[in-house]
């Protein structure tokens, strides 16, 4: 019962963190979208006025950033990331192994003892 509550709490925290990330992205998109729109208009006007299409070049990387942020906030990016994560878990789990294997209780105690000696010596 306690483990079930703990798992439920961890899942709730993960969902809240994900919701905060999406909300942050949507808020950022409002500001970046405004900047992108003004930059696109300004650069287009500059390119027409100076008759140099090269002035429009900064729009290319800015449009990639805008598209990524839009996909994150309103598109399917999170579903695609989730699908890829599931694929990694199913087919490439060796990528997830920790260096030197999983941490054991004995290793933790050894680290704790060495750190407590370090802090008490000062």
Q: What is the mean pLDDT of each run of 10 residues along the chain (122 residues)?
A: 94 96 96 97 96 94 96 96 96 93 91 81 57
What per-residue confidence (pLDDT) applies to 116? 83
Tokens of 20: 């905060």
Q: List the chain domain ranges.
A: 1-121
pLDDT number for residue 59: 96
Tell whether pTM > 0.95: no
Distance CA 65, CA 58 (A): 11
d(CA 43, CA 46): 5
Q: Which residues contact 77 (CB under 8 A, 6 or more apart)?
A: 68, 71
């Amino acid at each position: 019962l306690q483990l079930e509550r703990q798992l439920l709490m961890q899942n709730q925290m993960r969902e809240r963190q994900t919701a905060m990330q999406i909300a942050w992205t949507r808020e950022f998109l409002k500001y970046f979208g405004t900047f992108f729109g003004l930059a696109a208009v300004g650069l287009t006007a500059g390119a027409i006025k100076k008759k140099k299409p090269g002035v429009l070049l900064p729009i290319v990387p800015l449009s990639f950033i805008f598209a990524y942020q839009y996909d994150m906030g309103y598109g399917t990016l999170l579903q695609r990331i989730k699908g890829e994560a599931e694929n990694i878990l199913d087919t490439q789990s060796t990528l997830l192994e920790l260096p030197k294997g999983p941490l054991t209780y004995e290793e933790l105690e050894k680290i704790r003892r060495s750190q407590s000696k370090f802090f008490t010596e000062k």
